[in-house]
Amino acid sequence: MTMSAQLAAEDDADLVGRSGGRRAVRVSTLRWVVIIGLLAFLIAPIIPLILWSFSFRWTFPNLLPTEYSMRAWEAVASPTNDVLLATWNSTVIAVVVTALSILIGVPAGRALGLYKFPGKRLVELLIVAPIIVPTLAVALGMHTLFIRYGLSNSLIGVIVVHLIPALPYMILVMAGVFANYDSAFESQARSLGANGFKTQRFVTIPAIMPGLVVGSLFTFLISWSEYVLTLLVGGGQVITLPLLLFNFARSGDNAIAGALAVVFIVPGILVLVFTSKHLSSGQAAMGGTGAL
Amino acid sequence: MTNVTLSKLTKEFEGKPDPSVDHIDLEIESGKLTALLGPSGCGKTTTMRMIAGLLRPTSGDIKFDGKSIVSIAPERRGAVMVFQNYLLFPYMTIRENVSFGLKMRGVSKTETRQRVGEMLDLVQLPGLEDRMPKQLSGGQQQRVALARALIVQPKVLLLDEPLSNLDAHLRDEMRELIRRLQGELKITTIFVTHDQEEAAVLSDKIALILRGRLQHFGPPEEYFERPASVEIARFFGGVNFIPGAYDGSVIATSIGKFSAPRSSIASGAGVLTIRPEAVEIGGEGANSVPGRVVSHVYAGRYARFLIDVGGIRIEAVSDPKRVSQIADGDSISLRFDPNEIWVLAQPTEGDGVSLGASEGGNGSVASVSGDE
Ligand SMILES: Nc1ncnc2c1ncn2[C@@H]1O[C@H](COP(=O)(O)OP(=O)(O)OP(=O)(O)O)[C@@H](O)[C@H]1O
Ligand SMILES: [Mg+2]
C-alpha cells in the first residue's frame, strides 16, 4: 500500500543522490536557483519597508529617501510604546496556538490518515469547513459564546479563536503524513521492547517530524498574522503586532509602520529558513494535500 | 528455553463472519523450530501477532512455560517478531536499528557497541554499522532485521514469512543462516510460510492451518508420506486422488483393484492417493492399469505426464529421458507400488474439497513450481 509508495519515493531520491557527477550538479544548481528566486521574492518587497523605517523625508519623485533618521526604530524599541508588549503577545499566542494545534491535530490527523471509521467523509468536511467558510462568519457566531464564558477581551479567548483557522491546516498536513505512514513500525518497536511512550518518542515522532514541522510553521504563521479575529475577540484589549501595524499604517506614519512591518516579517523568514530542509523534503508537504 | 502453548486461541475481526483464527491448540516445544504453514489469509500473521502481544485474542489463552501471558504488554513478553517487510527504521543507521532493543533496555553504550558488532558478524554483515537501511539490498535488510531481533536474546522468536521477499539464491542462503543460528542459539522459533517445501526444509515440526483452523501438527515427513486428509495431501502437492471402497488391504476403484497396505482409515469409503513421483510409467503386473498419455511437460530435471485411465486423470513424474520414448496419445501401462499407495478417508460433503483428478484436467499438465 502506501508503504511501498513511500519506499519507491525514497528510491527515487536515492537515484538522484547516487547518480553522481553531472546529474547531481544540475540538480543542486536548480535547487539554488529556486532558493535564490524564492528569497528574492520574499526579500524584495521588504526593501522599501526597510527604507521607510529609516527615512525622515521621502517624497514622490525621489527613488530613495532624501533624509534618514532612527526615529522610527527608537519609537519601536521604546519601552513606553506597545511594540514590545505586542511582540510578546503575538509570540505567546502563536506559540500556544501551535502547541495546541499539535496536541489536537496529531491524533486527529492520525485518525483521519490511518483508520477507516463510519462518518469519516463528514468529519473531513467539517475539518475543511473553517477554511472554506469565511472565518469572520464563524467568529461572529462564536463571539456571543465567548462573551458568555468570559473569553472575550482576553488572551485565552484570542488563542481559542485563532485555533479556528489554524487547526484545520495542522490536521490536514498530519492526515497526509499518516496516510503515508505504516503503523507496523510501532508494532515492531513494541515487540523489540519499547513501551508505549518510548515508541512515540523514538519511532512515531521522528517519522512524522517533517510533517509536524511544516504543520507547525503553517499554524504559527496563521496565528502570527491574524488580524480580524484578534480584534474581534480581543476587543482592542489584546494588542498584537498586526493590530499595531494596522494602526500606524492607517495613521499615515510610514516610517513607524515600515519598522513594525520589518519586525512583523522577521519571524516568518527565520522560521522559513530553519525549516526549509523539511519543506523541500517534499514527502510531508505534498502529503498534506494527498489525503483529502 | 521456553515452550509456547496455544489453547483454543481464537481471533474474530469485526465485519468478518468466520473467525480468522479458530480455536487453535498447539504445543510448541522449547528450542525447536516450528513452521506455521498455510495459504494466504488463513490466519498465520494474526496468530503470530497474538503471540507477540500486538493483537488481543478474542478468546483462548497463550502460555509461555505454562504461564499465561495474554495480559502482558508486548515489550515485556520476551517474544520478538520479525515482520515480512523487514521494517527497518528508515531514519536510523544499521547500528541504531540493531541496537534499538538494547537501548530500550538501558544497556550501556560500550556493551551495545560490542554486541552490535558481534551480531552483525553472526549474520555475516560485518562493518555495515553506519549505513542507512535503504543503502542495503533486500537480503541484507532481512539479515539486519534478524540481527535486531536476536540481539535482545528473545525467549521466543517469531518470523513472519522471513524469506518470501528474497530471490531463490538468497532464500537458500537465509534458510541456511536461520537453521544455523537457531541451532546455535536454541531459541524457540516459530516461523510463518506458505511454502510447504520451505516448511519441510527448515522446521522440526509443521503446523498446517487452513481457514483459521489447525489441520495437523507433526514432523514434515508425516505430511508427505502419511497425510491425514485429502486436503492436507493436496496442500503438500498431492494431485492423484481416486475414490474407492477400502477393506483394510485392498481398495476397489472405478479403474480397478489395488492392494494398499498403508492407510489412515481401517476400512470403508476411501481415497487412493499416490505421489506423481511414485507412479511407475510402463510398470506391469499386479497393481497396474492401462492408460493413454494426454499431454506432457519437459522440465529439464524431470518430465511430467498426464495420463487418462478410464476417465480419471493421473499425473506421473519420471526420468526426463522418457519424453523421447513416449508420445502424446500413446497407450501405456501404469503401476502403483503398493507401498507407495496411501489410503485416506473420503472427504465429507461440505468440506469444500472435491476429488477432481487434477487441476490440469483440461488436457494440459499444470507446470510444477517449486515454491508454490
Ligand atoms: N486488522 C484486521 N481487520 C480485519 N480483518 C483482518 C485484520 N487482519 C487480518 N484480517 C483477516 O484475517 C484473515 C487472516 O489474515 P492473516 O493476515 O493472519 O493471514 P495470513 O495467513 O498471514 O496471510 P498471508 O499469507 O497473506 O500473509 C484474513 O482474512 C484477513 O482479511
Ligand atoms: Mg501474513
CA distance linking residue A159 with residue A149, whole number of Å: 14
Strands B79-82, A67-68: pairing is unpaired
Atom of ligand 1 nearest to the CA of B15: 4
CA–centroid distance, B13 to ligand 1, in Å, is 9
Q: Do A191 and B74 count as a contact with CB atoms less than 8 A apart?
A: yes
- The mean pLDDT of chain B is 87
CA–centroid distance, B104 to ligand 1, in Å, is 29
* Residue range B315-353, pLDDT digits in tens: 999 888 887 888 888 899 999 999 999 999 888 765 555
B239-343 shares the fold of B2-219: no
* Residue range A71-126, pLDDT digits in tens: 878 877 777 778 888 889 999 999 999 999 999 999 999 999 888 888 888 888 88
User: Is the model's pLDDT at A20 over the cut of 70?
Assistant: no
pTM of the complete model? 0.77
Q: Where are the beta strands (DSSP E) in B283-351?
A: 288-298, 303-309, 312-318, 331-336, 342-345
Residue B146's nearest CA partner among B172, B124, B170 is: B124
Helix (H, G, I), strand (E, B) or coil at B369: coil
Residue of chain A minimizing CA distance to B55: A187
**What is the residue extent of each domain of chain B?**
2-219, 239-343
Query: In the block, which residue shows the cell 501401462?
Result: B333
User: Is the model's pLDDT at A191 over the cut of 90?
Assistant: yes
CA–centroid distance, B41 to ligand 2, in Å, is 7
Q: Do B100 and A194 count as a contact with CB atoms less than 8 A apart?
A: yes
Chain A residues near residue B80 by CB distance under 8 angstroms: 191-193
Atom 25 (ligand 1) nearest CA: B40
Atom of ligand 1 nearest to the CA of B39: 25
CA distance linking residue B208 with residue B39, whole number of Å: 9
Domain B239-343: CATH architecture, name and number where available:
Beta Barrel (2.40)
A159 φ, ψ to 5°? -60, -45
Question: Which stretch of A194-203, A259-268, B9-18 has the lowest confidence by average pLDDT?
Answer: A259-268
Please give the pLDDT value at position A21: 45
Query: In the block, which residue shows the cell 530471490?
Result: B167
Please give the pLDDT value at position A292: 34
Please give the grid coordinates belonging to residue B104: 530500550
Residue of chain B minimizing CA distance to A206: B91
- The mean pLDDT of chain A is 79
Residue of chain A minimizing CA distance to B76: A193
CA distance linking residue B33 with residue B111, whole number of Å: 29
Q: pLDDT-based confidence at A43, cuts 50/70/90?
A: confident
Helix (H, G, I), strand (E, B) or coil at A260: helix
Please give the pLDDT value at position A266: 82
* Residue range A228-249, pLDDT digits in tens: 889 888 888 888 989 988 888 8
Please give the pLDDT value at position A250: 85
Q: How far is CA A153 from CA A100, A135, A148, B217, in A?
A: 20, 18, 12, 73
Query: In the block, which residue shows the cell 486428509?
Result: B229
Class of the CATH domain delimited by B2-219 = alpha beta
User: In the predicted model, what is the mean pLDDT of residues B84-93?
Assistant: 90
What string of DSSP letters covers B13-78?
-TT-SS-SEEEEEEEEPTT-EEEEE--TTSSHHHHHHHHHTSS--SEEEEEETTEE-TTS-GGGT-
Question: What are the pocket residues of ligand 1 if the criterion is a CB atom closer than 6 Å to any ligand atom?
Answer: B 13, 16, 20, 38, 40-46, 194
User: In the predicted model, what is the mean pLDDT of residues B218-236?
Assistant: 89
User: Is the model's pLDDT at A283 over the cut of 70?
Assistant: no
CB contact residues (below 8 A), chain B span 7-66, against chain A: 49, 52-54
User: Is the model's pLDDT at A178 over the cut of 60?
Assistant: yes
Reduced to 3 DSSP states, what percent helix, strand and coil does chain B have, rounded to the nearest 5?
25, 30, 40
Q: How far is B43 from chain A (nearest CA, A)?
A: 17
Q: pLDDT-based confidence at B355, cuts 50/70/90?
A: low
Please give the grid coordinates belonging to residue B250: 485392498
Q: How far is CA B8 from CA A65, B5, B13, B22, B61, in A?
A: 87, 10, 16, 7, 7
Query: In the block, which residue shows the cell 497526509?
Result: A176
Q: Do A190 and B101 count as a contact with CB atoms less than 8 A apart?
A: no
Helix (H, G, I), strand (E, B) or coil at B315: strand
Sign of the torsion angle spanned by Cα atoms A37, A38, A43, A45: positive
